[in-house]
Structure 1
Amino acid sequence: MLIETFADLICPWCYIGKRRLDRALAQRPTLRAEIRWQPFQLNPDMPKGGMSRDDYLSAKFGGAERARQIYRVVEDTAARDGLPLLLDRIPRTPNSFDAHRLVRIAGRHGVANAMADALFAAYFVDGVDIGDLDALASVAAGVGLDFGETRRQLGSDAESASVLAADALARQMGLQAVPCYIFNRRYALSGAQEPASFLPLLDLGSAEPENLSVVSG
């Protein structure tokens, strides 16, 4: 079964949603699933170097206090799922384009899913600036890729065209928010759903691609 995951690496709901999909897949141990990461930038106009967290929160939510009110729901949800989420450790909100490129680079070595997990943890637990190329290469080394070679690729335009094309395709499909999971290019489930919500779609593992039906929540 092909499961295309449209997400942004700086999106806390995508972080939660990925863990919930993993939990759902654990309940279907005989299902042969291919998880294919698809990039989506929530902030496509973010400066290349990102911006300070305080400036970002002020621009997006009108200030840190309002942001804290909004993020409290996210933090409570993550806590119930046993997922560490330490937003106060994040000093900068990065441009996530290069992090998406890194997931694609990791995919060449068969570790895209592990790379996504590592990048989520680096950002939401350790407060790493995942827009910084050296930081990204260090995260890559943690999943077994060579630091120097990965840093060289990140310094080039490797996978830039594919990330831009995939992000554009998502918008052409009408995606305006993430996460969104598309199963066998036929059914889509949007939002960080509970694991049980994934199960009926996982059970359609033998379905052939047809028209896309979206289930939101």
Structure 2
Amino acid sequence: MPSVNIDIVSDVMCPWCYIGKKRLEAAIKELPEDIEVDVRWRPYQLDPTLPKEGKDREQYLSEKFGGSERAKQIYANIVDAGREEDIPFDFEAIAVSPNTLDAHRVIRWAASEAPGVQDRLVDILFKAFFIDGKNVGDDTVLLDAAEQAGMDRTITEGLLAGQADCMEMEQEIEIARKMGVTGVPCFILENKYAVMGAQSANVLTNAIRDVAKEKETASAPQTA
């Protein structure tokens, strides 16, 4: 059976994207062994207006939700959903709401590394932000994460210091918006089918299985 390519449009400051990643991992485990999945992470920014250094979390929550108390009410459902996926969200540990453009640049470079490096990096960044409360827009945090994922720190540092792929990231995000991606995560299967939101593992498993079956049927020899 053919492999299935999945592009995940995501932002590392989106809690539902973290939940969606865990659910996809569970979905893949439920697939038949003959179905292979190739996952690639694509950029999206929930708030591209944030400065490079980020913004004080309390100020950000006040501007977005009207205050931290209102934010806690909104995040309550996320905390419950995270608990089901073994994600111990700690929103109170977050001191800075980050600009994630540089994080997406590093994620892009990780795609050129050995298999599994990009996915590992994304997981490290999610944990750094949502559990450890780190600023994932900070160069040192990004370099530590890249190194932990298996990337060369010196090379990554040199790229990060310049403007490499900044324009490409912005263009890719704009393309996603033009395609109708208004929220994340968005799972795009074989560049044809989109599964919006942090759907259940069962929904994702069935979608992947259906696409794999369609690819198998399309590639089968035709008889007269």
Give TM class, smaller chain. over 0.9
Matched, 1:136 2:145: no
Match of 1:188, SS?
strand
Query: For residues 104 and 34 of structure 2, what CA distance do their matches in structure 1 show?
Result: 29
Match of 1:137, SS?
helix
Query: For residues 41 and 214 of structure 2, what CA distance do their matches in structure 1 show?
Result: 20
1:161-181 Cα distance to aligned partner (Å, 9 max, x none): 321121010011111111110
Match of 1:31 among 35, 44, 47: 35
- Provide the aligned C-alpha RMSD in A: 1.2
Larger C-alpha radius of gyration, 1 or 2?
2
Aligned residues: 208
Match of 2:187, SS?
strand
Residue aligning to 1:79: 83
Match of 2:48 among 40, 44, 49: 44
Question: Unpaired runs of 5+ in structure 2?
Answer: 216-224
Query: For residues 190 and 181 of structure 1, what CA distance do their matches in structure 2 show?
Result: 6
Matched, 1:166 2:172: yes
Matched, 1:107 2:111: yes
Query: For residues 90 and 31 of structure 1, what CA distance do their matches in structure 2 show?
Result: 39
Question: Unpaired runs of 5+ in structure 1?
Answer: 209-217
**CA contact under 8 A between 1:50 and 1:92: conserved in structure 2?**
yes
* Partner AA of 1:95 in structure 2: N
Match of 2:65 among 61, 66, 73: 61
Match of 2:194, SS?
strand
**CA contact under 8 A between 1:105 and 1:159: conserved in structure 2?**
no
Query: For residues 80 and 200 of structure 1, what CA distance do their matches in structure 2 show?
Result: 20
Query: For residues 24 and 11 of structure 2, what CA distance do their matches in structure 1 show?
Result: 15
Specify which structure has the higher proportion of helix.
2
Match of 1:128, SS?
coil
Matched, 1:176 2:182: yes
Quote the sequence identity (%).
37
Matched, 1:149 2:174: no
Q: TM-score, normalised by structure 1?
A: 0.92
Match of 2:42, SS?
strand
* Partner AA of 2:151 in structure 1: L
Match of 2:214, SS?
coil
Match of 2:132, SS?
coil
